Amino acid sequence: MEINFEALAVAADLVFRWPTLMWLAIGIFMGIAGGAMPGLTAATTMALFLPLAAQMPLGPALGLLIGIYKGAVFGGSISAISFATPGTPEAAATVYDGYKLMLNGKGRKAILMALYASVTADFLSDLVLIVVAPALAVIALAFGPSEKVWLMVMAIALLASLSGAHFAKGLISAAVGFFCATIGSDPIGMVQRNTFGFWQLSDGIHLIPLVVGLFAMGRMLEEAMHLFREKKVAEDLKARIGEIFSKRSEGLSIREYLSCWREMSIGFGIGTFVGALPGLGSTVGAFLSYSVAKQVRPHIKFGTGKLEGVAAAEAGNNATVGPTLIPLLAFGIPGSSSAALLGGALTLQGFTPNPRMFDLYPHAVYALFIILLVGNVFNLGIGRFFALLFAKIALLPRQLLIPLVMLMAVLGSYAYQGNTTDVWVMLVFGFVGFFFRIWGIPEAPLIVTFLVAPMLEAELRRGLLIQKGDWFDALFHSNLAIGLAVTAFVLTFLCARFSLMERIGAASEREAKEATGD
């Protein structure tokens, strides 16, 4: 696809303005802070600020949300290294070596390694997004209604299958999201459906109260439950955090950073590939990168407090940030919860993600690309300056954090349109998110199917109109559509089989341990 230099100039003018850069810096700052707080994931923090972004112009809105996304994925490593509690799920693999480095008095070195590996892999993966997404969008333009229907079905099946330990739970989450998307008025006949007699739902469920409730309120309800169960906090926590600031704590040299180039390369390659596949996400990227690096260099003895382990894990999770937007921009299908929130923000701005974005709104796409690249510079600068201070965020009592976040969730939902219905919807989905976490049901399929379902229905109806009501021709109009349909069924079968064998293996392992008395 040729570069539209006029749109590129408009995008550059949009990005390199004080409001956009200011909100990008604020987003990075809040993202790192949110990531460093156990319980606040990237998606949770983005959901909290989505109502604010919806009221902003395009540039500042993208700056805020992309900044939060980038900052939070790195920020999770701070608490993972400081006290073995990953601030975000994707930082769990960083605990293995990062926390041991902390115990060995090298916490500062570990945090700086996490920062530099994160920014390096993130920057390189953003370049992959910029090159790959436009090329895939050109291919996607050749897709008709039949092909788009099966592509969306395949994405939903893949996401539902790979977003949790149990295949059925992923499908349940996807089904709930699909049902929620049908609430409101029929897009063709404008007939109300699934409103249960509530006229307030005639316009459907809005995205902002749904995501704020599902991610932010649901997470805080879970944290409140854990808070009631807690009996004590480790007494030496403050002492361990304080070691980071002592003069005895070593910094990171350029030579040490460059010595981890193999691990960062592995993390970049695997993270980029994993990020481009809908449903896998940065947590899979981190663990897979760490595992491959451990196998490639067994003499390093990963897990004993090695900088290479921190570099592999952090490069692996941050390398997914850019590529997770590839399915969103090329096909209009979010690749993760965070990508879904960013896609929702673009929709609220009037730029619905789809393959024609590169033709219809090139300045918006170019602005997103530029902000992604500039965000890495901001992430490096702000992270380098504040990362060590953010380690102390772990000392913030959850008795204060939980009600504060709940209050922000209520205010944000009400401020979106100024009505109490959105607040009630947010509270309902807050409890939905809470019970999802209790039962181990992933939230990602719900939010993605909620966004994809209206597009799937529109394409299916368009296909039926073109084929004059013939369902077979509407669904299997071409060899490509048939191929995508077969792929969707095969993926569903394989993922269900893999999940079943995984549970059987886990049960056998438990029985073996019980038999040996372990």
Q: Which residue has the higher pLDDT, 160 or 195?
A: 195
Mean of the per-residue pLDDT values of the chain: 78
Average pLDDT of span 208-221: 76
Nearest-CA neighbor of 342 among 34, 13, 25, 67? Answer: 67
| 192 φ/ψ angles, rounded to the nearest 5 degrees | -70, 140
DSSP assignment of 108-149: HHHHHHHHHHHHHHHHHHHHHHHHHHHHHHHHHTT--HHHHH
CB 338 within 8 A of CB 43: yes
What is the predicted pLDDT for the residue at 493? Answer: 75
> 341-398 pLDDT, tens per residue?
888 888 888 888 877 888 888 899 899 999 999 999 999 999 888 776 765 655 556 6
Q: Which residue has the higher pLDDT, 145 or 70?
A: 70
pLDDT tier for residue 206 given thresholds of 50, 70 and 90: confident
Q: Which residue has the higher pLDDT, 5 or 167?
A: 5
Nearest-CA neighbor of 283 among 295, 270, 296, 294? Answer: 270
Beta bridge partners of 184: 193
The CA distances from residue 46 to 65, 82, 182, 214, in Å, are: 6, 24, 25, 12
Distance CA 486, CA 473 (A): 16
CB 342 within 8 A of CB 325: yes
Q: 346: buried, middle or exposed (CB in 10 Å: 19+, 13-18, 0-12)?
A: buried
Average pLDDT of span 407-417: 71
Q: Is the pLDDT of residue 68 over 90?
A: yes
Average pLDDT of span 331-346: 79
> 419-449 pLDDT, tens per residue?
788 888 888 888 888 888 888 787 767 776 7
pLDDT tier for residue 237 given thresholds of 50, 70 and 90: very low
> 273-325 pLDDT, tens per residue?
777 766 556 766 777 788 788 878 877 778 778 888 888 889 888 888 888 88
Kindly state the tokens that stand for 15: 């990005």
Q: 107: buried, middle or exposed (CB in 10 Å: 19+, 13-18, 0-12)?
A: buried
- What are the domain boundaries of the chain? 15-516
What is the predicted pLDDT for the residue at 486? Answer: 86
